[in-house]
Amino acid sequence: EALDGGPLARLHDGDLVRVDAVAGTLDVLTPGVLERPNVRPDLVANGYGTGRELFAIFRDHVGAAEAGATPFF
């Protein structure tokens, strides 16, 4: 979701969010977060180390969150 430019991509460290597992909602409490420009993060350095390369195939093929975020379909 964040890599596709969704709202999670606009969150920064320190932003306040409220997660309600019962209602199934995530609310951004920090003003102005959703108005921030959409910047695609550079994740080139995150592909290797601590076994991350073993799961690269899953990261490369995972589907959208709305479809279950699975790499199998």
**Domain boundaries, given as residue ranges, for the chain:** 1-41, 42-73
pLDDT of 13? 92
pLDDT at 73 exceeding the cut of 70? no
Q: How far is CA 15 from CA 34, 56, 57, in A?
A: 11, 29, 31
| pTM greater than 0.75 (yes/no) | no
d(CA 25, CA 4): 20
Q: What is the pLDDT of residues 11-24, one digit of tens each?
A: 999 999 999 999 99
Q: What is the pLDDT of residues 4-52, one digit of tens each?
A: 778 888 999 999 999 999 999 999 999 999 899 887 777 777 777 777 8
| 41 φ/ψ angles, rounded to the nearest 5 degrees | -70, 150
